[in-house]
Homo-oligomer: A and B are copies of this chain.
């Protein structure tokens, strides 16, 4: 796509969804370091998300997490989002923190626990109805820690049963996004460990079930862009959870650990129609900001995704395709690298300027005084975090 105005148009229409929990405290099993100014409730999380959108112009949607973001009045929360220029994105279910879920949720050996877990998922669909959220995002920590602990195939039966019940409950404009993850917190088996498992379940469920690719959830060496291309070809890529990693599921800022990988992923997205509105891929962030300031970290992640997208849009697709057809390995690789090696920050600065925004959203946010303001204002109460 060599037409600059088309590239700019694509960049302006891109939507990156940010997660409510990314604004709260997080950490590792060793320690959660609290930060000043962290939100105490879902409304304050939305306010933080609004800051990200105000400075980047491409982050108008916010994922919620239930029960962390449970409120009395979802209509009020939705209205507040709208006042901030936001809308509610995916509803994420949490069936891993109740004591009953120690050995699993929808795959637990005990049917009573499974019932409780499925009911929680159904509640999440209720919240979708109440907030206008189009996406139910399911991630299950279900699995086992030791060989023999439970019946691997039996757990698949239970999983399929729960998913089918929830799928039935979905409205016409709602879909189910099924996330996979290699390991953690389960250490021997995970019930949805890879894209193949998620894909197989989604296929059986029907067109409203699609796969979520979390960029941090793979075994070392996995070629994520292959999975992205494959799922787009199959019409089964529902969403991304962007973040980055050096080792396990590190949940670092998107693009921080391997910007070239993020570019390759966005290349497959662009090439296979994933940026088109009708393909309906939800580009979400799913990250932890354990030691860095949270709002600026989300802003940097958004701009990292934008930069990777811009580079992918700048690829000379005709030259690439010609080189590929002719089997010229170095030429085709060269076309790709030309785009990657381009400094797209000036282009994105222009895009922002044309949207009426500051050229550098990170600097603009830091200069805005918001960080100091929330640190001063949000005193007392209990800071939001994974501990809910």
Residues on A lying within 8 angstroms of B by beta carbon are 26-31, 33-34, 96-97, 99, 101-103, 109-110, 141, 145-153, 156-157, 182-185, 187-190, 193-197, 199-200, 203, 218-223, 225-226, 229-230, 232-234, 245-248, 250, 252-253, 256-260, 264, 267-268, 271-272, 290-293, 296-297, 300, 307, 320-321, 323-327, 329-330, 332-337, 340-343, 345, 362, 386
Given A103-B291, A221-B182, A341-B307, A147 and B336 contact (CB-CB distance below 8 Å):
yes
- Residue in contact with A29 in the complex, picked from B29, B149, B194, B300, CB distance below 8 Å: B29
* A30 with B386, Cβ < 8 A, contacts A110-B327, A145-B329, A150-B324 known: yes
Q: Is B30 a contact partner of A141 (Cβ separation < 8 A)?
A: yes
Instruction: Give the number of copies in the complex.
Output: 4
Q: A182-B247, A248-B248 are known contacts; what are 5 more A-B pairs with Cβ within 8 Å?
A: A31-B96, A148-B323, A182-B221, A183-B247, A343-B343
Provide the bound-state CA to CA distance between A342 and B234, in Å.
37
With contact pairs A183-B246, A343-B341 given, residues A153 and B256 touching in the complex (Cβ less than 8 Å)? no
Contact A333 B97 (CB under 8 A): no
Chain B residues, CB < 8 A from A268: 152-153
| Nearest CB in chain B to that of A338: its residue | B345
Tell me the nearest residue of chain B to A247, going by C-beta: B183
Contact B149 A229, beta carbon cutoff 8 Å: no
B248 touches A200 (CB 8 A): no
Q: How far is the CA of A341 from the CA of B311 in the complex (A)?
A: 11
Q: A273 → chain B, closest Cβ, in Å?
A: 10
List, in ascending order, chain B residues with CB within 8 A of A321's CB. Answer: 151
* Complex Cα spacing A101 to B220, Å: 28
Contact in complex: B220, A153 (CB < 8 Å): no
Query: A148 and B320: CB pair below 8 A?
Result: yes
A272 neighbours in B (Cβ, 8 Å): 153
Option from B99, B194, B225, B259 in Cβ contact (under 8 Å) with A33: B99
8 Å CB contact of A296 from B226, B325, B330, B336: B330
Q: State which of B219, B324, B336 has its C-beta within 8 Å of the C-beta of A109.
A: B324
Say whether B220 contacts A221, CB under 8 Å: yes
Are A152 and B336 touching (Cβ within 8 A)? no
Q: Is the CB of A223 within 8 A of B188?
A: yes
Q: Contact between A146 and B252 (Cβ–Cβ < 8 Å)? A: yes
**Bound complex: CA of A317 vs CA of B189, how far in Å?**
19
- 10 nearest interchain CB pairs? A196-B196, A148-B336, A219-B219, A220-B220, A28-B185, A187-B250, A152-B229, A146-B333, A343-B343, A292-B329
A252 surroundings in chain B (CB, below 8 A): 145-146, 187-188
Give the CA-CA distance A169 to B225 in the complex, in Å.
33
Tell me whether A333 and B151 are in contact in the complex, defined as CB-CB below 8 angstroms, given that A156-B233, A193-B223, A221-B219 are known contacts.
no
Which B residues are CB-close (under 8 A) to A343? 341-343
Nearest B-chain residue to A109, judged by Cβ: B325
* B260–A292 touching, CB < 8 Å: no
Residues of B within 8 A of A320 (CB): 148
Asked whether B324 lies within 8 Å of A151 as measured between CB atoms, the reply is yes
* Least Cβ–Cβ distance between A197 and chain B, in angstroms: 6
Q: In angstroms, how far is the closest chain B Cβ from the Cβ of A71?
A: 22
Q: Is A300 touching B341 in the complex (CB atoms < 8 A)?
A: no
